[in-house]
Amino acid sequence: MDVVIVESPAKAKTINKYLGKGYKVLASYGHVRDLPSKDGSVLPDEDFSMAWDVDAKSQKRLNEIAAAVKGADRLILATDPDREGEAISWHVLEVLNKKKALKDIEVQRVVFNAITKKSVTEAMEHPRGLDKELIDAYLARRALDYLVGFTLSPVLWRKLPGSRSAGRVQSVALRLICDRELEIEAFRAREYWTVEADMKTAAKAPFVARLVGIDGKKLDKFDIPDAKTAGEIEARIKASRFSVKSVESKPARRNPNPPFTTSTLQQEAARKLGFSASRTMQVAQRLYEGVEIDGETTGLITYMRTDGVQIAPEAIAQARTVINNEFGEAYLPDAPRVYTTKAKNAQEAHEAIRPTDIARLPKSVAARLDDDQRRLYELVWNRTVASQMENVQLERTTIEIEADDAPINLRATGSVIVFDGFLRLYQEGRDEPDEGDEGNRLPKVARGDRLGLDKVRPEQHFTEPPPRFTEATLVKRMEELGIGRPSTYASTLQTLRDRDYVRMDKNRFVPQDKGRLVTAFLENFFSRYVEYDFTAELEEKLDKVSAGELDWKDLLREFWKDFTVNVGEALELRITEVLDRLNEVLAPHVFPDKGDGSDPRQCPSCDNGRLSLKVGRFGAFVGCSNYPDCKFTRQLTAGAEGEEVAGDRVLGTDPETGAEISLKTGRFGPYVERAPLEPDDKPKRSGLPAKMSAADVDLDTALRLLTLPREIGIHPETGKKITAGLGRFGPFVLHDGTYANLKDPEELFDIGLNRAVAVLAEKIVRAEERAGKVLKELGEHPDTGKPVQVREGKYGPYVKHASTNATLPKSAKPEDVTLEQALALVAEKDEKSGKGKKKPAKKAAAPKNKTKEPAARKPAAKKKAPAKKSPAKKAAPKKPAAKKPKATEMAD
């Protein structure tokens, strides 16, 4: 028996069918080990030794693999054909060696680029050993990402509270977005004019010509700066007579684009399908793992993480056959097209992304795919086939025109498609509008022909700022600069969104204040590590490691030596030094010129204080230098036309009570407040919906928000009330502990009882579907009265009670489980998770609060109690300050 290890269970099931008897295929479910999310997982002082951790789920799978390997003839590691796949195989092998499970067992490594029977069986015939260089490159990359994340992020937390993390590639991608925003803000529109003329031949055939020269001078873009100059030129053109000076027609051609790489697939899927990079990769993964065709699961595309543009000779032959059959011999080039990778840092030599069987037309598999899969497969198929089709044949014509009695020159250009070639099937999308003249057919004219003039059209234009990055253009720019790798683009961009460093506006990246602050800090105190050239150079060195040209530990030593010096210098900085620098760097953004000559940093509340960046527990904000006498604060960004977004801005008075209504900013952002009528009363407050700008809040909006939460009515089945409110995760309706989200905040104010009941019912149905099918109803829990059930789960049957899920022992049959057995499993699970310990803790703490202290003081009382028990407990209060993002949050 041979044991084969792959990454996913779907792949394991398929490959098991391909290989048949004599093989047992198991899934590792991706990585089985990772660096623990704590300091000390990589030790530079111990020659960069790395402490790997196996979580409970991975441990269970590794035990299953170890049990299967015992007594096996061979262990075949068949994980993905890239660095990560090689690393997973290495991790599995390391764990099995530690378990001493590989005694006298042969270990082989196989790779296949597609999940088809042919690809897999051929790979099995050509095994190899593990690639040490690829593993070293993985170790170097993982260590670098960890060291940067766990060394740089704490500096951010101390010097710039509220910042989440920094990362080797993540921070450079964020800088690209912030730098583009600075360009946009610094941009000043410049006026310019163009002049076009509607002309006609002697045969009355119309065409358009543009002014290109006057008075012996070739016109540049800004040579017609205003309406006056344009008007004078218009009058001169109208007073002139024109003839053809020359006609030139030249043939031209356009070559097809090469097949997809990871980055070009992400770019084109964003342009044409509206997919994010992560969505593209998820759908591509499903196409790679395959669908059932003729009773056999078959992968539809080759491996989707690649820098290569070459495709296998047999695939080229298939494509040429398809072209000849589907489009005709005219669309088939005389010789196959061969593409080579132009990227200077191309990853391991894999094929481009292509269909595993090009003869499998999109229409033949459409019924077996969901809409996303169908559209992406069609995109891959079209691009692959078009890459082997004939060129587009064009004819480009230029007509030069001159005035008979004045030095005025006009030009008409046109480009006509003579043969559509690959455009018959596919045309690459563009990120920005293109002003090409393809399809602009010009009339037939000859030198010396007289031309008529119908109309002269001066047009005003203004230069435009560079556009913000879309996912497609940002991935393209990162690839051009050599930053990151195809397999990391999707996760890097998602991390920026998850950290709230950026937001998306019309599918374009807009940096948030938090992101701009982090970027400004890194550029000023860690400039080398967010430089584009430095990051690209580091990627080149990592590629040299994978090629066996550089020792991975030499790379780490060189990096760590300079990095630790830089970190040490930054830790010595006082927060006031950091804020003074950031006040200067971010002044145009945080303190924009008001346009009236006044000091943009003058406090609008006390008039003699000076605004400055401040940092609090929840991040940066703008405050007055006269604090605590002046308590004016606002968010970093000022509103339109210099109006402050927040601060104690009075909106008006409540028409019913006469209480003052204000817009304020707290540690969680802006909110509205109704002042209390009595000194001992608490003010009524409400936050703003996520997409509502503080600058747009008026008195009417505030009064509506202050009605929340509002009672909708009584649930017809339970007799309990239903309320609508605004919470941390947006608008919701609440009934008997069940929250159901609403899509539109406006629904909060007009949702009726019927709609609320329906929304709650849908939430319960979805929860039931996620919980799995009920296999057996056992009755009610004696303490809570809530049902106890046996349900069908993803990993086997389990007992469910309220929010507790307890797995059934393997020996237990769902139909035989009794209520008593289920209650014991639930109690055991609650005890392990700590749920069963909460009530006693509350009872023990009750006597200490006999004086009815304010709620805010209770946590302090609880902290004192453990200090008396043992020295170990004294460290407990420090835990909140030591919270850190997981390793995946800090590393790219």
368-410 pLDDT per residue, tens: 999 999 999 999 999 999 999 999 999 999 999 999 888 999 9
How many beta carbons lie within 10 A of that of residue 540, not counting itself? 12
Say yes or no to pLDDT of 163 above 50: yes
In sequence order, what DSSP letters do the residues of 758-769 get, joined into one string?
Answer: HHHHHHHHHHHH
Q: Higher-confidence residue: 564 or 768?
A: 564
End-to-end Cα distance, the chain: 39
The number of angstroms, rounded, from the C-alpha of 572 to the middle of its chain's C-alpha atoms is 34
- Give the integer Cα–Cα distance in Å for 305 and 262: 5
* Closest to 10 measured CA to CA, from 32, 21, 31, 26: 26
Q: Higher-confidence residue: 833 or 84?
A: 84
**pLDDT one-digit tens code per residue, 271-323:** 899 898 889 999 999 999 988 887 788 899 999 988 889 999 999 999 999 99
**pLDDT one-digit tens code per residue, 699-731:** 888 998 999 999 999 998 888 999 999 887 789
* Closest to 850 measured CA to CA, from 839, 861, 840: 861
Residues 6+ apart with CB under 8 A from 841: none
How many beta carbons lie within 10 A of that of residue 592, not counting itself? 14
- Beta-sheet pairing, 450-462 with 191-200: antiparallel
Percent of the chain with pLDDT over 70: 88
Q: Is 350 exposed, middle or buried (0-12, 13-18, 19+ CB in 10 A)?
A: buried
* Closest to 534 measured CA to CA, from 570, 562, 492: 562
- Give the integer Cα–Cα distance in Å for 342 and 310: 11
The number of angstroms, rounded, from the C-alpha of 273 to the middle of its chain's C-alpha atoms is 16
Say yes or no to pLDDT of 860 above 60: no
Residue 750 confidence (pLDDT): 86
- Give the integer Cα–Cα distance in Å for 834 and 830: 6
870-891: average pLDDT: 40
**pLDDT one-digit tens code per residue, 840-857:** 444 333 333 333 333 333
- Is the pTM above the cut of 0.75? no
Residue 865 confidence (pLDDT): 42
Residues 6+ apart with CB under 8 A from 125: none
Identify residue 622 by its one-letter amino acid code: V
Prior bond of 628 cis (ω within 30°): yes
Residues with a catalytic annotation lie at: 303
Say yes or no to pLDDT of 807 above 80: yes
**pLDDT one-digit tens code per residue, 213-239:** 999 999 999 999 999 999 999 999 999
Say yes or no to pLDDT of 1 above 80: yes
How many beta carbons lie within 10 A of that of residue 689, not counting itself? 15
The number of angstroms, rounded, from the C-alpha of 7 to the middle of its chain's C-alpha atoms is 23
The number of angstroms, rounded, from the C-alpha of 38 to the middle of its chain's C-alpha atoms is 25
Token reading at 197:
């003329």
Across the chain, which distance is largest between two alpha carbons, in Å? 107
Beta-bridge partners for 664: 671
- Give the integer Cα–Cα distance in Å for 644 and 429: 41
- Give the integer Cα–Cα distance in Å for 69 and 99: 11
Is residue 665 within a helix (H) or strand (E), and if so which, with residue range?
strand 660-666
Percent of the chain with pLDDT over 90: 40
Q: What angle do CA 727, 512, 582 make, to 5 degrees?
A: 125
In the chain, what are the helix, strand and coil shares in percent, each to the nearest 5? 40, 20, 35
Identify residue 121 by its one-letter amino acid code: T
Token reading at 195:
């002049």
- Contact assessment for residue 103 and residue 508, using Cβ atoms and an 8 Å cutoff: no
* Local confidence band at 647 (pLDDT 50, 70, 90 cut-offs): very low
